[in-house]
Structure 1
């Protein structure tokens, strides 16, 4: 294959994929998905109301779904003629909406349902296996389960138990992986009945335990969503469990519940199966006359539209009538069963069905090999094309990003330098202007105080107050000027500043002042943090000096894993818990901690000292 041919294939494949993505082949608007799941297909009013709603939508695929709902309704009504007409309409419609690849399965499974109704088991087999093959191709587990159900029905009617069980276990694995709770109701109930059938043939007791679990799971979901037909069938499965366990009393309770909910189902329904179970329960209880009575009643409720079901009904009746001692009724039912079975099955038909399954398996293997080969070639071609195109595009993008990033870094560095220069200039101006004037006020007030006569104590006292206020304001200005400087944003600068402050105030006292530092990196603090931290711990150090009557004060700094911790601890007299809430200084310290998003803790016990602890979280992007 030459390079131009390869390019043509890749291009065609990509065009196909693009055009595929533009078509909506899923009716998922509004709440229609849940409405369809919960739809009672026996109720004509509910069915045709939803069908009309779907037909009014702008999505063609929803109109297809509307027809499919009508088809399933006619299937439940056992109306072959109308079901066939709608099935043909579905096939015609599929060609017009260009969704054949998505909805081909729907056509196959609906044909399987139709031929099941028609008792044409050759055709049922053909389309059930086609549906399964299509579901596997789509990798859709829900569709696989639906196809397998049709195949299991087919092999049950053919008494092909070994083949049947393989498909049941395959479906079981898929059902356990399902996430749709409404479908789980139906699927677990189906499993319960299949396990009952398997038990009746093998008498393996663990099968009954699984039956009970599946039936209860289905019943719980059916009650939640008010699905009466599934609720009735779940109780019927629980009845079967009790019956096989030998508890006829419980079995009768369950079957009466099943009949109660079944009668709530709107639309056409066949209750004969439930009355058959009730008959068997009475026979097990030893009530032969009641067993015969309820079996006779089951025939009164049988619509006789389902020929295969009617055949199995007479087979059940044959067994019950015989055990109840009514051999006349048993013989009559057996003769009817035999006539129906001969009309449906013969050796030639069985051979055709088995050949269809073999053909399905062979085609499946061949199709997988071909599909893998084609996908492998296409995948390799696409990967090569994408890598080539991606490399060129990525190279251009990387160059462009590098230029943008370089400009952004340069701009950020320029802005940071400008900001640092501005902060430095403001700090210098404050120091030169306000600081010098405050120092001059302090000096002048001292000179005036010396010149004022001792006989004027009031004036001298006020001058002294001016001097103290000027000195205090000057010291406070130093803190403000420190926070303005750009280097004050670094933790090491804050450590140095507070250490120096502590050293100054404790130098003239007998209190031992120590500093501990556990900082592995000079982390940069967010703007505004340094000022609040300085104010908090200057207050804490001053309080310790003036009020704690302590012997030692320790100031500790720690930083690890973006967690900042600063502690001021003394061994003084402590503070009463009631005073912790009322002292203004402590309250202001907590307020400052809140301003910078930090937690401030004050731990104190009488006679054990006081600890002021600040905890803050520094994100990676501010380091």
Structure 2
């Protein structure tokens, strides 16, 4: 930015064209417009005879620069062009256009790589926009945000700009103590700036604020400071032909003369302020200058002149809902009243009251104070954070180490659980594949006996059923679940073979609810076979009556229920053979455990003794399709 100013003022010295207007518009132009873009900086090489415009209101000259920047291929330069365009429209009080440019600028900022370097400008522009529309609450919000960003960048001039907006807010809210604190903060920053002649705007601002403080306190030393600041501002304004700052400097000198009682000198100074003010092209703030002239004439006893210049002041005023308009109408009512223009006084006072009610209220004051507290709190927290960085670093190292240890423990534990699960799955597969070896041995023995007796039809049937069971057993080894229909088919084949082994020893029957979808609902394969085998091999052993097995399939909205009932020996009779029962039960328990892990379900079974005359086993499974 300093390089841009050097180019700016070097070309200014060579410029032979007359320069008009004031308020130096600080901007960066593109030094590498056609050659490249470096380090988030947009500067422009301006050829000889190009006119650098200090005056923000010279629209033709300024828009030549704006268009040149906006039409480059570099987004950073486009952003700077929009920045100039926003300030032009905002200073001209073309609020709708300023807002439109602000939206465009915000959208463009999201595309810029070095976004952090430009965020302040967007935040500050938002503060300026809300200043223009007199939204004090939002103005204070963005002014505090701008100050926070300026402090992050450690940029003195950006801090000054942000503080000026905050001072405006607290002035309008009559918060003199807070106002003065920020003024003194800005003063130190301004006095530390190099090349004070370039910053006449800031010195005029300080002079205004000190003059305002004098009107509240009547401390004579404040006027000495006012004079010191305005002399510095006036020197820079004339050096660089800034007409706006010339006008402001004479306005401050008018106030000094007024406070000292030299009204004739005050009139001379205000006329000089009006003279230079009229040289400003575009928007001119002449209303305030004519207001001061009206007061001077009133205090000189020249009532008609006071009335005339007050009328002129209102003529130049842009009527809108602003603090400036509010204060203008308040002073107008006083001047008109003292000039015996009571009808005008009443009209101005009504307008003042209406504006006051809409602009100033307690809720806004509370909200703005809350925003200031948040800013101060954030600032204090930032200091605390900076002091605790080392402690936090050590803490992060410790926590990181603990997390690493816990992660390793978790990793090895998970690996162990996975290995256990694989073992369980392997065991389950073996269990599904394993029908009691005694069954196969006995079945083959029966097959041998039948062959010896040459009962070929029975042998063929027996062999076919045994083959089918063996095939289904192997298939179920690789199928996690089978349909109820397949399970019933498997049990049927198994029971028929057992009936061949034990002729006239038992009967069996399936009971299936009509609403059960046997070909859709699924359950773990061969889950019921161990219970049925246990009933035949042990429950019906040495019975003097025909055994009976009833197998029930029922369901509700959530679960499937399988009941296996027999009329064999009860629990007491089988306690001596507990090891046979427990082996079958353990197989089912292991399978249900793994099934629940895989499906996150709660499958289980219960065993009941039917009055010492057989067992009833109820298996509860979730509905799976």
TM-score scaled by length of structure 2? 0.54
Q: Which of the pair has the greater relative contact order for Cα pairs under 8 Å at 6+ separation? A: 2
| CA–CA distance in structure 2, aligned partners of residues 284 and 24 of structure 1 | 58
Determine which of 137, 148, 155 is the counterpart of 1:133. Answer: 148
Give the Å deviation of 1:321. 2.3
Which residue pairs with 1:221 in the alignment?
Answer: 236
| CA–CA distance in structure 2, aligned partners of residues 258 and 153 of structure 1 | 22
Which residue pairs with 1:111 in the alignment?
Answer: 126
| CA–CA distance in structure 1, aligned partners of residues 52 and 237 of structure 2 | 12
Pairing 1:171–2:186 present: yes
Which residue pairs with 1:44 in the alignment?
Answer: 59
Q: SS of the residue aligned with 2:118?
A: helix
Q: Deviations over 1:270-290 (max 9, x none)?
A: 310110011111122221221
Determine which of 70, 81, 86 is the counterpart of 2:96. Answer: 81
Q: SS of the residue aligned with 2:85?
A: helix
Pairing 1:365–2:380 present: yes
Which residue pairs with 2:358 in the alignment?
Answer: 343
Structure 1: segments with no counterpart, 5+ residues: 1-21, 382-623
Alpha-carbon contact 1:216-1:238 (below 8 Å) kept = no
Give the Å deviation of 1:305. 4.3
Shift of the 354–284 alpha-carbon distance from structure 1 to 2, 3 Å rule, reads same
| CA–CA distance in structure 2, aligned partners of residues 42 and 376 of structure 1 | 54
Q: Deviations over 1:368-409 (max 9, x none)?
A: 322454489889x9xxxxxxxxxxxxxxxxxxxxxxxxxxxx
| CA–CA distance in structure 2, aligned partners of residues 313 and 171 of structure 1 | 27
Give the Å deviation of 1:140. 0.6
Q: SS of the residue aligned with 1:179?
A: coil
Pairing 1:208–2:219 present: no
Q: Deviations over 1:101-127 (max 9, x none)?
A: 111111111111111112211111110
Q: Deviations over 1:283-307 (max 9, x none)?
A: 2222122111101110111122462
Determine which of 267, 275, 279 is the counterpart of 1:264. Answer: 279
Shift of the 183–109 alpha-carbon distance from structure 1 to 2, 3 Å rule, reads farther
Q: Deviations over 1:543-601 (max 9, x none)?
A: xxxxxxxxxxxxxxxxxxxxxxxxxxxxxxxxxxxxxxxxxxxxxxxxxxxxxxxxxxx
Alignment of 1:380-399 (within 5 A): none
Alpha-carbon contact 2:233-2:249 (below 8 Å) kept = yes
Q: SS of the residue aligned with 1:351?
A: helix
Which residue pairs with 1:290 in the alignment?
Answer: 305
Alpha-carbon contact 1:37-1:183 (below 8 Å) kept = no
Alpha-carbon contact 1:258-1:274 (below 8 Å) kept = yes
**What is the root-mean-square deviation in Å for CA atoms of aligned residues?**
2.5
Task: Say how many residue pairs are matched.
Answer: 357
Q: SS of the residue aligned with 2:134?
A: coil
Shift of the 212–235 alpha-carbon distance from structure 1 to 2, 3 Å rule, reads same
Give the Å deviation of 1:182. 5.4
Alpha-carbon contact 2:197-2:235 (below 8 Å) kept = no
Which residue pairs with 1:62 in the alignment?
Answer: 77
Alpha-carbon contact 1:232-1:262 (below 8 Å) kept = yes
Q: SS of the residue aligned with 1:96?
A: coil
Which residue pairs with 2:111 in the alignment?
Answer: 96
| CA–CA distance in structure 1, aligned partners of residues 198 and 152 of structure 2 | 21
Determine which of 60, 63, 68 is the counterpart of 1:53. Answer: 68
Shift of the 174–291 alpha-carbon distance from structure 1 to 2, 3 Å rule, reads same
Give the Å deviation of 1:365. 1.0
Q: Deviations over 1:53-105 (max 9, x none)?
A: 33355653222111011001111121221111111111111111222211111
Shift of the 186–105 alpha-carbon distance from structure 1 to 2, 3 Å rule, reads same
Pairing 1:307–2:322 present: yes
Which residue pairs with 2:86 in the alignment?
Answer: 71
Alignment of 1:316-331 (within 5 A): 316-331=331-346
| CA–CA distance in structure 1, aligned partners of residues 114 and 255 of structure 2 | 43
| CA–CA distance in structure 1, aligned partners of residues 202 and 393 of structure 2 | 38
| CA–CA distance in structure 2, aligned partners of residues 263 and 180 of structure 1 | 28
| CA–CA distance in structure 2, aligned partners of residues 27 and 373 of structure 1 | 38
| CA–CA distance in structure 2, aligned partners of residues 310 and 290 of structure 1 | 22
Give the Å deviation of 1:268. 2.0
Which residue pairs with 1:332 in the alignment?
Answer: 347
| CA–CA distance in structure 1, aligned partners of residues 46 and 206 of structure 2 | 28
Give the Å deviation of 1:167. 0.4
| CA–CA distance in structure 2, aligned partners of residues 356 and 332 of structure 1 | 36
Larger displacement relative to structure 2 (318-327 or 122-131): 318-327
Q: SS of the residue aligned with 1:330?
A: helix
| CA–CA distance in structure 2, aligned partners of residues 372 and 57 of structure 1 | 45
Determine which of 177, 184, 187 is the counterpart of 2:199. Answer: 184
Which residue pairs with 2:165 in the alignment?
Answer: 150
| CA–CA distance in structure 1, aligned partners of residues 90 and 210 of structure 2 | 26
Give the Å deviation of 1:31. 6.3
| CA–CA distance in structure 1, aligned partners of residues 99 and 393 of structure 2 | 40
Alpha-carbon contact 2:196-2:232 (below 8 Å) kept = no
Structure of higher CA gyration radius: 2
TM-score scaled by length of structure 1? 0.54
Shift of the 37–194 alpha-carbon distance from structure 1 to 2, 3 Å rule, reads farther
Shift of the 283–227 alpha-carbon distance from structure 1 to 2, 3 Å rule, reads same
Determine which of 125, 139, 150 is the counterpart of 1:124. Answer: 139
Alpha-carbon contact 2:51-2:61 (below 8 Å) kept = no
